[in-house]
Amino acid sequence: MQDSIESAIDIILKSKFAIVFTGAGISVESGIPPFRGEKGLWNKYDPDALDLNNFHLNPFDAWKVIKEIFYDFFQDSKPNDAHLVIAELEQLGIIKAVITQNIDNLHYEAGSKVVYEFHGNSRKLVCPYCGKKVLAAEIDLSNVPLCESCHAVLKPDFIFFGEGIPEDAYRNSVNVSQNADLVIIIGSTGEVVPAASMPQLAKQYGAKIIEVNPEKTLFTDSITDIYLKGKAAEIMNKLLIGIKQKI
């Protein structure tokens, strides 16, 4: 395994179909904590709030936690340099797609166009019965939100424990993973499946793997070719500067 920015830049510039795979770590510098780890949200909140059965049985209790985590402070977060660099690399024609496990909408806000949201998106709420979707920002969340049409309790449009991956996101993610010759993994432990199987699939189909993370992960000693130890924004900025000097 190599660990240099220079080698990573060379591999990125040689790639024909580079994709990015992101986890909660890329948004830490936007002020959104990850779920796992020392400062993770599961040290403060009960993950049962995101259990589908629990949500249907106790929607009022579940919504209290959901509102606090995903709407009181996710809502105001802004993309950081790592999101912005990815969008710029897409504009330069280097990155073809982003597969993200994140539900914070920050890749779109940064300007990325081809984004597959493996776990959905928190900016919308969906009615579990009629399927109607509404923007969370337009709803008063001080009370449990109800569907205008059928009065069912609305659910955030991201997947809860016990729910399947959105079909389009899954199909598109598999497709780009099979076609990628390079995956840049940023800020993911590799512990959440089936998301973590996307970089593994790409590796089986011959892709090189560059990984950006301050800590080693399940990917690092198994599929990673180049491990860039550090925070997402700093490393992605270094990569962008190096790439721009060479193109």
Q: How far is CA 148 from CA 121, 126, 137, 159, in A?
A: 20, 11, 15, 22
111: left (phi over 0), alpha (psi -120 to 50) or beta: left
Region from 35-43, 58-66, 83-91, 163-171 binding ligand NAD, contact rule CB under 6 A: 35-43
Looking at residue 76, the DSSP 8-state letter turns out to be T
Q: How far is the CB of 187 from ligand NAD (least distance, A)?
A: 3
Clarify whether 107 is annotated catalytic.
no
24 lies in the site for ligand NAD, by CB under 6 A: yes
Measured in Å, how far apart are the chain's first and last C-alpha atoms?
26
Q: Does 192 bind ligand NAD (CB under 6 A)?
A: yes
Please count the residues of this chain forming the interface with ligand NAD, following the rule CB under 6 A.
32
The rounded distance, in Å, linking the Cα atoms of 26 and 213 is: 9
- Total Cβ atoms within 10 A of residue 101: 20
Distance between CA atoms of residues 199 and 225, nearest Å: 12
Q: Which is nearer to ligand NAD, 173 or 213 (CB)?
A: 213
Candidate ranges 98-106, 127-135, 149-157, 203-211; the one touching ligand NAD (CB under 6 A): 98-106
Minimal CA–CA distance to 4: which of 239, 161, 228?
Answer: 228
Q: Is 201 in the site for ligand NAD (CB under 6 A)?
A: no
Residue (77 or 179) nearer to ligand NAD, CB: 77
Q: Which one of residues 8, 11, 15, 23 is an interface residue with ligand NAD (CB under 6 A)?
A: 23
Q: Least CB distance from residue 148 to ligand NAD, whole Å?
A: 27
Q: Which two tokens stand for residue 182?
A: 């390079």
Binding of residue 231 to ligand NAD (CB under 6 A): yes
> Can you give the binding site for ligand NAD, defined by CB under 6 A?
23-29, 32, 34-37, 40, 101-104, 119, 186-189, 191-192, 195, 212-215, 217, 231-232
- Catalytically active residues, by annotation: 119
